[in-house]
Amino acid sequence: MIERRNFSDRQTLINALGEHLAAAVRQSIAAQGRASLAVSGGSTPVPLFERLAELDLPWPQVLITLADERWVELSSPDSNEALVRRHLLTKRAAAAVFVGLKNTAAQAAAGEAACGEQLRQLPLPFTAVILGMGNDGHTASLFPCAAQLAHAADMNCGKLCAAVRPQTALYERMTLTLPTLLTAKEIILHITGPDKQAVLEKALQAGPPEEMPIRFIFRQEAVPVTVWWAP
């Protein structure tokens, strides 16, 4: 079952989602001593990151990773890690532990095994996975055009992450695999604007998940999914 939460404006959404995540983090730390979040890049989550960074949480007990990463250096403006470091791992949240996906391998495929080992330090299940969605229905780096989609979306792939080469986007990528994304207490799809609402309506209709990989998230029954949307 997919829950939909619509807000009148983006700031109201950010405030509500920030409080929601803070409560989830506190609950996870109280129960298990640690919490873990997988977050996404792009411009949409930046205000959320900045809101979270201000919250009074036990940040040293919070581990943060990315749902996916472009295979670029940290100095690149297209680096998701750089975005997270700039907007989330600041102020109070500077004390959080960050586990990145990019390593020194020249190509994503060559760095896949080392990335998987790095991810093993994360406490699973994730307290929350916060995803975005592209206009083509991709989420994380599960792209409909990628030859590696079938492997990355295979619930029996046995991997925490997978190298992906999308045909319609720049750069090689590293993505959390579908089984890793679904190792979560909850999944939040954070989207804004009428264009993304239209993509959402299409994705909720019948059709192969390979055409709009966000459907892999919508059509599973193991993890609750909530769509947070504002105009």
Distance CA 174, CA 71 (A): 7
Classify domain 2-230 at the CATH topology level. Rossmann fold (3.40.50)
The three-state secondary structure class of 28 is: helix
pTM: 0.97
Q: What is the pLDDT of residue 119?
A: 98
pLDDT at 22 over 90: yes
In this predicted model, what pLDDT tens digit does every residue of 23-56 receive, in sequence order?
999 999 999 999 999 999 999 999 999 999 999 9
Q: What is the DSSP string of 119-154?
A: HTTS-SSBSEEEE---TTS-BTTB-TT-TTHHHHT-
Q: With contact defined as beta carbons under 8 Å apart, do 197 and 204 qualify?
A: no
Asked if 229 and 191 touch (Cβ cutoff 8 Å), the reply is yes
- From 9, 8, 23, 60, select the one nearest 188 (Cα to Cα): 23
Model confidence pLDDT, tens digit, residues 122-175:
999 999 999 999 999 999 999 999 999 999 999 999 999 999 999 999 999 999
> Residue 216: helix, strand or coil by DSSP?
helix
Quote the distance between the C-alpha of residue 229 and its chain's center. 16
Cβ neighbours for 228, distance < 8 A, ≥ 6 positions apart:
5, 7, 13, 16, 17, 188, 189, 190, 191
Which tokens go with 12?
A: 């109201």
- Locate 218 and state its tokens: 């919508």
Q: What is the pLDDT of residue 16?
A: 98
pLDDT at 1: 75
pLDDT of residue 32: 96
58-98 per-position pLDDT tens digit: 999 999 999 999 999 999 999 999 999 999 999 999 999 99
Q: Is the pLDDT of residue 194 over 90?
A: yes
> Helix (H, G, I), strand (E, B), or coil: what is residue 75?
coil
Cα-based distances in Å from 116 to 3, 8, 180: 31, 40, 11
